[in-house]
Amino acid sequence: MRREYGYAKLVIVVVIFAILVVWTLRNNWSKDFNLVNSGSYSAAENLSYSVTIQNQTSRSLKNANVSLYMPVSISQYHKTLEIETKEPHEIFKDSLDNQVLYLDLKNLPAKSSKITVVSALIGVVENTKENNEYDLQQYLIDDPVLRVNSKEVSDVVNDLKKSDKSNIAENILLWIKSNRKHKNTGAQKNQEETHAELQDAKMEVSVPVILKNNITGPVSNAYVFLAVSRASGIPARMLVGINKGTHKKYSYDDIIVWVEYFEQGMWYGVNIEELTLFETQSNYIAFRVFKEVPQQLADYAYKYLYESSGVDVIPGSLSIQFN
C-alpha cells in the first residue's frame, strides 16, 4: 500500500512540474509572438521542406554543394524561430533577412538520388511595426535591370501623375492592366523563351526592353512595378515564396513571385499575377527577398530558391508541408 501511495505521489509531482514548465514557456513565448490566429496562421507552425538532390554523372562525388533558401528570418508578419536538418550544414543570413541553408554533401554515388528534408518553425509576429528596422534606401536604388532613371520608366511615372488616385501602388497596377496586354493572338510565349530571344538579339533584359517589347508575365510585371515605384520615391522589393491558404502541402508549382512597397511604416503586398493588393498578407510566407532583381526572367519562380554545384536539384521534387 505504501509503495502504491509513493508511486501516486510521484506521478502527481511530475504532472504539476510539467504544467509549470508548459505555462512558463507559453508565458515567455507570448512576449514575442501573438498566440491567437492571424489569417490562417497559429502562433507557431512547423514547416517541412524537402527536395531530391541527384548526382547524374557516371562517377561518385566526394563533395557537392547545394544552397536552399529558407523562410526569411523576419518579415512583416512572420519570424522564423529555428531551422533544422540532419545533413551537415551552415546557415547564412544577409542584410535582407534572407536565410540560406548551405549543404555540404559527401560521397554521393554515381547516378544516385538523395532526399533532403529541412524543418522550420515559423511564428506570427505580434507587433508588425516594431519589426521594420530596414535600411529603406536599399529598396530605392537603381540596378542594371530596373533602369529607374531611364526615359521609358520616367514616361510611365509622368503618366501616373495624371491620375486622380492618391495611392501610387494602385495607380501602377491600373497602368499595368491598361497598358501591358499581350499583342500576339496566338499562344503567349513564356518568359524564358522571350529571354532567350532577347539574348539571341544581343539585347539585355531590362525594364526599358520589357516595356518596348511588351513582355508580359508575373516576373516582368514585377520588374515594371519595382522600377516605377522606386522612380516615384516609394521603396519596393520583390519576394519569392508561397501563399498558404487552406492546404497543408505545396509543390514547386505553388512557388510564386510578389512585390511589396513600403508606406506609413509598413510593407504592403501586391499580387503581381492578378494585379491586386493583398487581402490577407499574413498568408504569404517569403523564402527570398530581392534588392537587385535577377537578370533571368524565370518562367517558374521556384528556380530562384536554390543553387547547386556538382549536383542537380530535381524541380518536381520540391515539397513544402505544414504539420
Residue with cell 513544402: 320
In this structure, are 242 and 154 located in the same domain? yes
How does residue 242 score in pLDDT terms, banded at 50, 70 and 90?
very high
Judge if 142 and 114 occupy the same domain.
no
Percent of the chain with pLDDT over 90: 33
Mean pLDDT of 109-124: 89
Say whether both 188 and 225 belong to one domain. yes
What lies within 8 Å, CB to CB, of 171 at 6+ separation is: 160, 163, 165
Q: What is the mean pLDDT of residues 57-85?
A: 89
- How many domains does the chain divide into? 3
Report the pLDDT averaged over residues 122-145.
76
Determine, yes or no, domain membership for 305.
no
User: What percent of the chain has a predicted confidence (pLDDT) above 70?
Assistant: 76
From 114, 130, 146, give the residue that closes a domain.
130
* CA distances from residue 225 to 153, 210, 232, 249, 261 in whole angstroms, order as listed: 10, 12, 11, 30, 9
Domain that holds residue 105: 44-130
Cell of 192: 524564358
Same domain? For 173 and 212 the reply is yes
Residue 289 contacts residue 262 (beta carbons within 8 Å)? no
50 and 17: one domain?
no
| Residue 307 domain-assigned (yes or no) | no
Residue 193: give its domain's CATH number. 3.10.620.30
Q: Is the pLDDT of residue 225 over 70?
A: yes
Tens of pLDDT, residues 6-17: 555 555 554 455
118-122, 276-280, 284-288: the lowest-pLDDT one: 276-280
Q: What pLDDT is recorded for position 276?
A: 87
Residue 276 maps to a domain:
yes
Judge if 121 and 25 occupy the same domain.
no
C-alpha cell at 7: 508511486
145 and 212 share a domain?
yes
Residues 199 and 292 in one domain: yes
Q: Which of 70, 102, 130 is the last residue of a domain?
A: 130
Q: What is the CATH number of the domain that holds 87?
A: 2.60.40
Is 3 a residue whose pLDDT tops 70?
Answer: no
Question: Quick one: average pLDDT of 29-50?
Answer: 52
Q: 228 in a domain, yes or no?
A: yes
Taking the C-alpha atoms of residue 87 and residue 84, their distance in angstroms, rounded to an integer, is 9
User: Does residue 296 or residue 46 have the better pLDDT?
Assistant: 46
Give domain status of residue 226, yes or no. yes
Over 70: is that where the pLDDT of 135 sits?
yes
Q: Per the domain annotation, does 303 fall within a domain? A: no
For residue 191 the three cell numbers come to 518568359
Q: Residue 37: inside a domain, yes or no?
A: no
Same domain for 72 and 57: yes
- The mean per-residue pLDDT over the stretch 264-275 comes to 88
Torsion sign, CA atoms 270, 273, 274, 280: negative
The answer to whether residues 149 and 206 touch, using CB atoms and an 8 Å cutoff, is no
- Predicted local confidence at residue 28, as pLDDT: 35
Whether residues 145 and 262 fall in one domain? yes
Average pLDDT across the chain, whole number: 79
Q: Is it the case that residue 25 has pLDDT exceeding 70?
A: no
Looking at the structure, do residues 80 and 143 belong to the same domain, yes or no?
no
Within a domain: residue 323?
A: no
Q: Tell me, yes or no, whether 150 and 55 share the same domain.
A: no
Q: At 192, is the pLDDT very low, low, confident or very high (cuts 50, 70, 90)?
A: low
